[in-house]
Amino acid sequence: MKRCRTTRIVNLAGFLFLAAALCTMGGCAASGGNGAPQATLAAMSLCNRTEAGCSQGAAFSLASIRDLAVDAQWSHLPEGTHTETVELLEPGGGSYQVQNVSFAIDGTAEGAAQATVVFPVAGSWITERAITGNWNVRISLDGQNILIEPVEFQP
């Protein structure tokens, strides 16, 4: 089985080298983007969303956090309907809460999208049981894990 994986990697590397050589000879960069599609990119920011606004950070006090807002910025998405899954993972790695957001990319959006989900913290089991420590937020797109960011809940 390992031999098959090695062969696929070598074949993929050879294909990529060939594609890069053909693109260089054929002038893909100058042809207005007729080359391979760009890889999907994502950026995530976390903030404590309150009535007064949203203060960004990666560590929040349970005494002052109201809601954990997770903002995802997407670029270079292919056309079609996509589903973003955002998971709040407990310090032990288990899934505390999961939220899904669906959105569509059409030909005019240039593959860009933004999605924000909010996890209530104040009054939840997190504050009621004082579950502090290092948590994680994981974002998936169409079933594939894309990003994971740490978030710390402090007493």
Verify that 58 and 132 share a domain, yes or no.
yes
69 and 105 share a domain? yes
Structure tokens at 5: 């994986």
The span from the first CA to the last CA of the chain, in angstroms, equals 49
Within 13 Å and on the Cβ side, how many CA atoms surround 42?
22
Looking at the fold, whether 57 and 21 belong to one and the same domain comes out as: no
**Cβ-contact 108, 50 below 8 angstroms:** no
Residues 107 and 145 in one domain: yes
User: What is the extent of the structural domain holding 27?
Assistant: 2-31
pLDDT of 38: 81
CB 58 within 8 A of CB 45: no
- Residue 109 vs residues 5, 7, 26, 78: alpha-carbon distances, Å: 37, 38, 28, 10
Residues 11 and 56 grouped into a single domain? no
36 belongs to a structural domain: no
Per-residue model confidence as pLDDT tens digits over 57-99: 999 999 999 999 999 999 999 999 999 999 999 999 999 999 9
- Domain with residue 145: its CATH number is 2.70.50.40
Query: Does 17 share its domain with 69?
Result: no
Q: Quick one: 84 and 148 in the same domain?
A: yes
- Asked whether residue 6 carries a pLDDT value surpassing 70, the answer given is no
Does one domain contain both 16 and 65? no
* Number of separate domains in the chain: 2
User: What local confidence, expressed as pLDDT, does residue 34 receive?
Assistant: 52
65 and 129 assigned to the same domain: yes
Q: In terms of domains, do 50 and 113 share one?
A: yes
Per-residue pLDDT tens digits for 112-153 = 999 999 999 999 999 999 999 999 999 999 999 999 999 999
Q: Is 107 left (phi over 0), alpha (psi -120 to 50) or beta?
A: alpha
User: Whole-prediction pTM value?
Assistant: 0.74
pLDDT at 135: 98
Looking at the fold, whether 8 and 78 belong to one and the same domain comes out as: no
Q: 71 has which bridge partners?
A: 45, 116
Q: Are residues 127 and 51 in the same domain?
A: yes
